[in-house]
């Protein structure tokens, strides 16, 4: 299954639960001072909201829980490389670290596509760590799309 850690395991659990709800299975958790303060799976269908990606949901929830929309001390764990929208939202929230599982060459915006954190219009970049839980994250996605064909 490759390397993982306890926070990424929770993000993977959120991804699996998203699949059960018929959502594209991507999960995220937001960690502050060693504790999970927000967790979510993708809810774009359920919420009828194209912006309801797991990353956006945990950023919004964490801001509410912590009483501050600037999440400078917080770290995000997400099963798939964030898209361009989420990469920018992560920057706006001033997140400290981003850990993502699988790469997404077709839709990612961190190490693929626009590589937002390397652009001059990006005014805060998190530290980025990739690959943790990536194999499992990919398998969850592959199984989901295979089952729908």
Summarize as ranges the residues that interact with a copy of itself (CB under 8 A). 44, 48-51, 56, 59-60, 63-64, 67-70, 83-89, 92-93, 106-109, 112-114, 116, 119-123
Minimal distance, residue 43 CB to a copy of itself, in Å: 11
> Annotated active-site positions, please?
55
DSSP 76-115: EEEEE--BHHHHHHHHHTT-SEEEEEE--TTTBSSSSTT-
Q: Left if phi > 0, otherwise alpha if psi is -120 to 50, otherwise beta: which for 5?
A: beta
CB nearer to a copy of itself: give 22 or 107.
Answer: 107
| Structural contact between residues 42 and 50, judged by C-beta atoms closer than 8 angstroms | no
Give the alpha-carbon dihedral of 126, 27, 3, 116, to 10 degrees.
-30
CB nearer to a copy of itself: give 16 or 94.
Answer: 94
Length of the chain: 149
What is the tally of helices (H) and strands (E) in the chain?
Answer: 4, 5
CB nearer to a copy of itself: give 8 or 87.
Answer: 87
């Amino acid at each position: 299954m490759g390397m993982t850690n306890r926070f990424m395991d929770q993000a993977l659990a959120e991804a699996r639960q998203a699949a059960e709800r018929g959502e594209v299975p991507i999960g995220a958790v937001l960690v502050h001072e060693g504790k999970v303060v927000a967790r979510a799976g993708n809810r774009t269908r359920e919420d009828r909201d194209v912006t309801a990606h797991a990353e956006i949901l945990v950023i919004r929830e964490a801001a509410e829980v912590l009483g501050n929309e600037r999440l400078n001390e917080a770290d995000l764990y997400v099963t798939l490389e964030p898209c361009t929208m989420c990469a920018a939202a992560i920057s706006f929230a001033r997140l400290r670290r981003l850990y993502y599982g699988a790469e997404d060459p077709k839709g990612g915006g961190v190490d693929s596509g626009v590589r937002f954190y390397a652009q001059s219009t990006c005014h805060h970049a998190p530290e980025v760590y990739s690959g943790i839980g990536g194999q499992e994250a990919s398998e969850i996605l592959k199984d989901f799309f295979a089952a729908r064909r």
